């Protein structure tokens, strides 16, 4: 089974795509927790996302932390402990600092990326390889800041089949991602019936996913735009994530 990075990655992109322009989709204090299941029944782990106000180099910024870990039986043969952190501007949401520390069944990474807007270069410190890298960039987001950057964009005119592209900086590289809007669906959840927007990120097939279009995400069709469900077909088995706890939302959670 692939790491919880997949969940955090697709959530951080997809949280953002269908927001309204007249309301803020998030605020400091927002907290979301997801239950992850493998092959539909076996609990695989938990993932959380939170945002709060902090100071960075004497400047008030927003700070987001995404965490993922395995639990139960899965933990005994594939232990995962992932932490992602992002410090970004309160107004423009441009990233200043991104931290990634993961341990996925013995596969480890520990990197810190600093975005310098005077030189337009991202400075990546790799603590395991003891190597520093400078990478030129232009209008990029890190994995977590992209979530907040796009949530307040007004894309109400999207039609079924439309795609949205975003450039994301991760692991010393810039990755172009495309996401396709599939339509609307009323979803039965633990919170009741929820109106959702459905989309599909276009992912690379191969070692992890069965096909390019094997991930589907459902997002609440309200001013918050919370991802409430994710389903992914993996090379072996399937992965499902469902929202199980939330607090500190900026707007009313619309359900019926």
What CATH number is given to the structural domain containing 196? 2.40.360
Q: State the Cα–Cα distance between residues 199 and 197, nearest whole angstrom.
A: 7
Whether the pLDDT of residue 203 is over 60: the answer is: no
The residue with greater pLDDT, 70 or 210, is 70
CA angle in degrees (0–180, nearest 5) for 6-48-64? 95
Is residue 13 assigned to a domain? yes
Number of domains into which the chain is organized: 1
> What φ, ψ does residue 14 adopt, rounded to 5°?
-80, -20
Least confident of 18-27, 57-66, 188-197: 18-27
DSSP state of 73: H
The residues with which 125 forms a beta bridge, in sequence order, are 112, 132
Contact of 124 with 113, CB cutoff 8 Å: yes
Is residue 20 assigned to a domain? yes
pLDDT bracket for residue 25 (50, 70, 90): confident
The residue with greater pLDDT, 38 or 51, is 51
Is residue 254 assigned to a domain? no
Q: State the Cα–Cα distance between residues 98 and 248, nearest whole angstrom.
A: 23
Q: What is the pTM of this model?
A: 0.85
Whether the pLDDT of residue 211 is over 70: the answer is: no
CA dihedral angle for residue 73, residue 74, residue 80, residue 85, rounded to 10 degrees: -90
Q: What is the pLDDT of residue 1?
A: 42
Burial class from Cβ neighbours inside 10 Å (0-12, 13-18, 19+) for residue 154 reads exposed
Cα–Cα separations (whole angstroms), residue 203 to 14, 192, 239:
13, 30, 15
What's the pLDDT tens digit per position in 165-200?
778 898 888 887 777 889 999 999 999 999 998 888
Is residue 253 assigned to a domain? no
**Gyration radius of the chain over CA positions:** 18
Contact of 169 with 113, CB cutoff 8 Å: yes
Q: Which helix (H) or strand (E) holds 212?
A: none
DSSP-based three-state secondary structure for 251:
coil
pLDDT bracket for residue 14 (50, 70, 90): very low
- The tokens of 79 are what? 């232990």
pLDDT bracket for residue 209 (50, 70, 90): very low
Q: Which residues of 34-65 are buried (b: 16+ CB within 10 A; e: fewer)?
A: bbbbbeeeeebbbbebbbeeeeeeeeebbbbb
What's the pLDDT tens digit per position in 95-140?
999 999 999 888 899 999 999 999 999 999 999 999 999 999 998 9
For all residues of the chain together, what is the average pLDDT?
A: 83
Is residue 252 assigned to a domain? no
The residue with greater pLDDT, 243 or 225, is 243
Is residue 60 assigned to a domain? yes
Containing structural domain, residue 104:
5-247
Is residue 16 assigned to a domain? yes
Whether the pLDDT of residue 204 is over 60: the answer is: no
Whether the pLDDT of residue 240 is over 60: the answer is: yes
Specify which of 75-84, 119-128, 205-214 reaches the highest per-range mean pLDDT: 119-128
Other C-beta atoms closer than 10 Å to the C-beta of 71 total 14
Helices (H), 54-158: 72-77, 145-151
Is residue 52 assigned to a domain? yes
DSSP-based three-state secondary structure for 105:
coil
The residues with which 253 forms a beta bridge, in sequence order, are none
């Amino acid at each position: 089974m692939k790491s919880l990075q997949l969940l955090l990655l697709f959530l951080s992109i997809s949280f953002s795509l269908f927001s309204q322009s007249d309301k803020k989709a998030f605020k400091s204090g927002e907290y979301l927790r997801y239950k992850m299941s493998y092959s539909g029944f076996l609990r695989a782990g938990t993932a959380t996302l939170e945002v709060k106000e902090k100071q960075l180099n004497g400047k008030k910024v927003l700070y987001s932390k995404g965490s993922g870990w395995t639990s139960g039986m899965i933990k005994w043969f594939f232990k995962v402990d992932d932490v992602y952190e992002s410090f970004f501007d309160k107004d423009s949401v441009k990233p200043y600092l991104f931290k990634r520390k993961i341990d996925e069944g013995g596969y480890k990474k520990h990197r810190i990326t600093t975005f310098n807007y005077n030189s337009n270069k991202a400075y990546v410190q790799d603590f395991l390889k003891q190597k520093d890298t400078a990478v030129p960039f232009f209008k990029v987001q890190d994995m977590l800041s992209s979530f907040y950057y796009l949530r307040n964009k007004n894309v109400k005119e999207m039609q079924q089949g439309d795609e949205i592209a975003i450039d994301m900086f991760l692991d010393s590289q810039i990755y172009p991602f495309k996401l396709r809007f599939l339509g609307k669906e009323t979803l039965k959840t633990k919170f009741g019936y929820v109106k959702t927007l459905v989309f599909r990120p276009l992912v690379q097939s191969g070692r992890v996913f069965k096909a390019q279009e094997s991930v589907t995400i459902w997002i609440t069709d309200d001013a918050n735009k919370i991802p409430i469900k994710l389903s992914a077909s993996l090379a072996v088995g399937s992965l499902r994530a469902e929202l199980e706890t939330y607090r500190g939302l900026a707007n009313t959670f619309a359900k019926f």
